[in-house]
């Protein structure tokens, strides 16, 4: 955290809205990124990120300055996204919500590569959406925000051993899902050349 | 073939001892299933780092400020509604109680007269109690400091309650501070 950010936090704690605005500007990317990975689409992610900042603004006086502000914000956003997923009681990214077909962007320098990347991104989102909300939050914080198991435990109000077991289970299911998708892809690619006789 | 503890070692992030690492490598050379799981996890982790970071649409902070102003307005309106409705409910309850007490011959003037009569009756009783307490106080001088403390205490408590009530009403009707 920079000195400037510390100053903004102090000012925001004393009711300075402009200072909180600067904090929103500074932390919007990690918060949006977390919400995007949790909820699976930019529209919901934008809304959730805004709501997380509203909650942070409301509870700024409860913020402990000894703790990292970014961690505190990510914790608020994680809890908000978990609640939101539970409320809608649906998988975050249902198959309907995902584009059925990706049309390669012909204007991109390498449309084929871009197509593959987008395909992988959709696959990752789909795999994340199949995890339980808390497991998903743990995976997102671990892989996208480089959080340690202790930080994840603090952010999600879990014990370290609970985080370890959730991450273990998630990795296992992600690896299995990855293998299935690879198998499905290889089948799809092989099928056009196969003879119906075999 | 048993995949334990190799599967556990693949998915947990704990640092393996050199002999464990060696055992895992040997197992991966022979076990297709574990090999597949290990490489799938590695590919997944690699792919995550290849993905570009999603960015919010431009004007995020401005949208947040607009939203904050809207949320504040909503909360103020909500508070006013709660206060107005609760005041209305309280007033209705008082009127209804008065009406129930006098429903047989409800008349504003009669009700007012009745109220005054009740108050004067109450005042008469208070005076009686007061004179009785005074005579009691005279007869038991040791009780004086105790009674005095209670009297001052209840008066102060009433004063604090009235002050809190008025200040909360004033606060509720004040416009929300828009920031520094």
Contact across the interface for B48 and A36, Cβ inside 8 Å:
no
| N-term to C-term CA, chain B | 69
Domain parsing of chain A, residue ranges: 3-193
Supply the DSSP symbol for B57.
P
Tokens representing A138 are 């743990």
pLDDT tens track for B105-119: 667 777 788 889 999
pLDDT tens track for B123-160: 999 999 999 888 877 776 666 677 677 888 888 888 99
ipTM of the complex model: 0.76
From chain B, pick out residues whose CB is under 8 angstroms from the CB of A120: 47, 50-51
Domain parsing of chain B, residue ranges: 6-50, 77-173
From chain A, pick out residues whose CB is under 8 angstroms from the CB of B73: none
Supply the DSSP symbol for A108.
S
Unique residue bearing structure tokens 């209840």: B154
Contact across the interface for B41 and A167, Cβ inside 8 Å:
no
Residue that wins the pLDDT comparison between B15 and B179: B15
pLDDT tens track for A15-27: 888 999 999 999 9
pLDDT tens track for A53-83: 999 999 999 999 888 899 999 999 999 999 9
Supply the DSSP symbol for A147.
-
Indicate the pLDDT class of residue B167, thresholds 50, 70 and 90.
Answer: confident
pLDDT of residue B141: 64
Q: Quote the pTM value.
A: 0.68
From chain A, pick out residues whose CB is under 8 angstroms from the CB of B60: 24-25, 28, 32, 46, 49-50
A3-193, CATH topology level = Rna Polymerase Sigma Factor; Chain: A (1.10.1740)
From chain B, pick out residues whose CB is under 8 angstroms from the CB of A50: 60, 63-64, 67
Indicate the residue of B41, B47, B180 with minimum beta-carbon distance to A124.
Answer: B47
The chain-wide mean pLDDT, for chain A, equals 84
A178 to chain B, any CB pair closer than 8 A? The answer is yes
Distance CA A5, CA B73 (A): 28
A116 to chain B, any CB pair closer than 8 A? The answer is no
Distances (CA, A) of A69 to A18, A56, B26: 17, 10, 45
The answer to whether residues B28 and B38 touch, using CB atoms and an 8 Å cutoff, is: yes
């Amino acid at each position: 955290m920079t000195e400037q950010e510390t100053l903004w936090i102090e000012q925001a704690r004393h009711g300075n809205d402009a200072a909180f605005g600067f904090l929103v500007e500074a932390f919007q990317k990690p918060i949006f990124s977390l919400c995007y990975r949790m909820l699976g689409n930019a529209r919901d992610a934008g809304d959730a990120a805004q709501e997380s900042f509203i909650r942070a603004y409301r509870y700024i006086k409860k913020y402990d300055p000894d703790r990292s502000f970014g961690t505190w914000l990510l914790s608020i956003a994680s809890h908000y996204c978990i609640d939101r997923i539970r409320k809608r009681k649906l998988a975050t990214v249902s198959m309907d919500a995902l584009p059925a077909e990706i049309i390669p962007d012909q204007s991109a320098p390498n449309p084929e590569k871009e197509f593959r990347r987008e395909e992988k991104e959709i696959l990752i989102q789909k795999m994340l959406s199949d995890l339980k909300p808390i497991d998903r939050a743990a995976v997102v914080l671990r892989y996208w925000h480089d959080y340690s198991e202790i930080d994840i435990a603090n952010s999600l109000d879990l014990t370290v051993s609970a985080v370890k077991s959730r991450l273990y289970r998630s990795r296992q299911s992600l690896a299995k899902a990855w293998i299935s998708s690879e198998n499905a892809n290889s089948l799809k690619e092989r099928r056009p050349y196969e003879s119906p006789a075999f | 073939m048993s995949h334990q503890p190799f599967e556990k070692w693949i998915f947990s992030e704990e640092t393996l001892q050199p002999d464990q690492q060696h055992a895992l490598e040997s197992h991966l050379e022979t076990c297709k299933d574990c090999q597949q799981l290990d490489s799938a996890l590695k590919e997944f982790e690699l792919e995550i780092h290849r993905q570009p970071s999603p960015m919010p649409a431009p004007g995020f902070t401005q949208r947040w400020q607009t939203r904050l102003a809207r949320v504040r307005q909503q909360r103020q309106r909500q508070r006013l509604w709660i206060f107005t409705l609760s005041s209305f409910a309280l007033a209705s309850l008082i009127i209804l109680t008065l009406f129930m007490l006098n429903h047989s011959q409800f008349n504003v003037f009669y009700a007012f007269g009745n109220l005054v009569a009740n108050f004067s009756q109450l005042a008469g009783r208070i005076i009686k109690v007061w004179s009785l307490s005074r005579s009691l106080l005279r007869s038991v001088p040791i009780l004086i400091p105790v009674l005095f403390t209670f009297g001052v205490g209840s008066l102060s408590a009433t004063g604090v309650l009235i002050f809190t009530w008025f200040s909360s009403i004033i606060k509720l009707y004040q416009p929300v501070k828009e920031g520094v």
